[in-house]
Structure formats: structure tokens, C-alpha cells
A and B are shown apart, each in its own frame.
Chain A
Amino acid sequence: MTWAGLLVPAVLLPAGYLALEQVLHRRGDAWPVARSAAVLAAGALLAVAASWPEAGPAGAGVAETVRHLLATMAAPVLLALSGPVALVLRVLPPRPRRVLVRLLHSRWARAVTWWPVATVLAASGAPLFYLAPVPHGLHGPLMVHTALASWLFATVVAGPDPVRGRPGAVTSTLALLVVAAVHGVSAKLWFAAGAGPAAELLFVGGDVVEVATAVAVWARWYRRTAPRPAAGPVRGRTSPGRGAAVPR
């Protein structure tokens, strides 16, 4: 598979996203700027992955690993944090929106967004890629599968997109632990099989994405358990020393 193909989603995802966002702005609706920044960053990482220079034979595994980390782990997580489904739902006219909602509520969609399923799908990527004897021709489809699984998983545990029965922060963290541990052990076993620096890079890169996803999960928890709606860290604090959360 040619890596240059990644330039297509690198351009189309942010372009489509920003076009939809313009529809919102034209009718006077607001949209969080952080989400637009996330989709732009996802596009940028895909572009970097597409144009990462070929290395010599010694560093070939390293270049390949950088692309995998960027395209199938980091970029999908950023895409999830940009909430593309929520944006589409906001922009679509009522009739097609109903179709999309019905699709999202379908048995199939609910099965893959059920967190244990999303966790297994996300955890399966690294061992399949690095430890299973997958024929070369299947690497392309496998990469697409891994990228989609990463996006789905990040959406379920952290993303702003609507998910029925989204797990709480603790369950999400435990699911993330499974994905991260499988990833780390796969990287070490790959190293044991002789992959060298590429495996170390895979290990560290996995940590970075894991920590970023965990921060997203807990930042969401932090926002949603705020003691008072719309109360900043300084404003709205009238009774210091108060313990439990005020029920809304």
C-alpha cells in the first residue's frame, strides 16, 4: 500500500469538517474551537505520516512505526475528540438526520459502540500487526481496521460524540488499561523478536497516546462533575469549606 494515499483523508477530513462548521456559523450557532483544532491536528498528523521520509534499511522499521503511530493511533484519537458525528448531526436537515440517528441506534452500531467490544477491537490492532504472520497484502486493510478501531474506542471512552451507555471514567480507564497493556506487551514481544529501536518507539508512542486519551477521559469527568453549572474555578464560590457536590 502506498502511504501517499493517506493524503486523501489528511485533506478531506479537515476540509469537510470546516465546511460543515461554516454551515453552523452561517446560521449563528457556536461550535467549540478546540474541536476544530483537534480535526486540524488529526489532518496534520496524517499528512506527516504520508510524507515521512523513507529511511535506509537500518531505520526502515522506525519510519514504518512512526507512520503507524501517527496514522492509526494519534490521528484517530484526535478525530474522535473533534466530535465529527455530533457536528454532522447538528448540520443535517431533519429528514437525513433521522436516517443517521436510526443508523446510530441500530443493533450493529450499538454492538460496536458497546465498550467491551470497542476495547477488544482497539486492543487487537497491535498484536495482529506486529506478532501475527499477516500476509503483506492485508496490511492496508488491517491499517484501516486499526485506525477505525482507535477512533471508535476513543469516541466511546472520551469523545464528545453521542454514545449510548458510555462507560464512566473508572470503567473507561480500565478499558484503556487493557488496550495500553496489550499494546505495550506486544511492543516488547516485537522487540524480543528482533525489531530493535522500532519496537521501543512503538512502546513509547503507545504511552503518549494512552496518556493523552486518559487526560481526555478525565477532563470530561472533571467538566461533568463540576460542583455548579457554569461556575469557573474562582467565580461562584460563596461557601468555602463546603464538602459534597451540590446536586443540580
Chain B
Amino acid sequence: MTGRSLVAGLLCGVGLAGFLDEVVFHQLLHWHHFYDRSTSTVGLVSDGWFHAGSWLATVAGLFVVADLQRRHALVGRRVAAGVLLGWGGFQLYDGLVQHKVLGLHQIRYDVELLPYDLVWNLTGALGVLVGVLLLVRRGRARA
């Protein structure tokens, strides 16, 4: 059930990234806006899919975790690796593809963007890196 633990973690990680974006950046900081006039339709559609998908990933991920838990088959390290990979990967996708390529929205407005972009994408990359390390160490421990 190590594969399932990883999938559950990935789903929860994507959900976490969407949740953080919604709660921290939209509701608490008000850096993000509901609709940005410069948004292209492609960006809007991409955002729509990811917004809906992050909710669904959260629900599915939590139910798979609960299922593994009741079977005593939950592999904590795999879940953690999945959460980091899911969250970091989503953050990188958001930071590189949605912000830069599609021009969907920026992290913050009316400020020098570079430090924000660097922090955003580097934390995402760090999440992916630690996630991969967790997976690799797990593999070594078994070998």
C-alpha cells in the first residue's frame, strides 16, 4: 500500500496548495483578486480547473488516507513525501506556468515582483526536493 500512501499524499498536497492560495493570499493578505482584468481566457480556464481540482483532490486524498488508516496500511513517510511533492509541484506550476507563461495573475501587485517570485518558486522547488529525498531514502532503507 506504499503506492496508495503516495497517491493520497499527492492529492492532499495539491489540495493544501489550493487551500493556502485561497485562504492566505486571497482572504488574509488580499494580494490576489477574484478576477484580474488582464487575465486571458486560457488563464481563467486553467485557474478554474485547478481551483475545482484542488477541492476534489483534498476530499479524495483524505478519504484514501482514512481507508489506509483503517487497514493499518498507512505509510507515513510516503504520505509526507506525497504532500510535499503535490504542494511543491502545484506551487511551481502556479508560479511558472500560470503566473509567467499564461500571465494569469501575479503574487502581489504594485511591488517589485522578483523577490516574491523567487521565494514562491524556491519554496515550491524545496518542497519537491524534500519530497523526492523522502522517497529515495525510503527506497534505500528497504534495499
Contact = CB atoms under 8 A, between A and B. Distances in A.
B48 A177 contact: no
Interface string B114-143: 000000000000000000000000000000
Contacts of B70: 226-227, 233
Nearest to B63: A218
Nearest to A186: B48
A243 B44 contact: no
Contact of A214 (B1, B55, B73): B55
A218 B59 contact: yes
Nearest to B45: A185
Nearest to A200: B34
B56 A185 contact: no
A227 B66 CA distance: 12
B1 A244 contact: yes
Contact of B59 (A215, A233, A245): A215
Contacts of B109: none
Contacts of A243: 1, 71-73
B53 interface: yes
A218 B60 contact: yes
Q: How large is the interface on A (under 10, 10 to 19, 20 to 34, 35 or more residues)?
A: 35 or more
A195 to B, nearest CB: 10
B112 to A, nearest CB: 28
A176 interface: yes
Interface in A150-188: 169-170, 173, 176-177, 180-185, 188
A184 B48 contact: yes
Nearest to B71: A227
A200 B53 CA distance: 18
Nearest to B69: A233
A219 interface: yes
Interface of B: 1, 34-35, 37, 44-45, 47-49, 51-53, 55-56, 59-60, 63, 66-67, 70-73
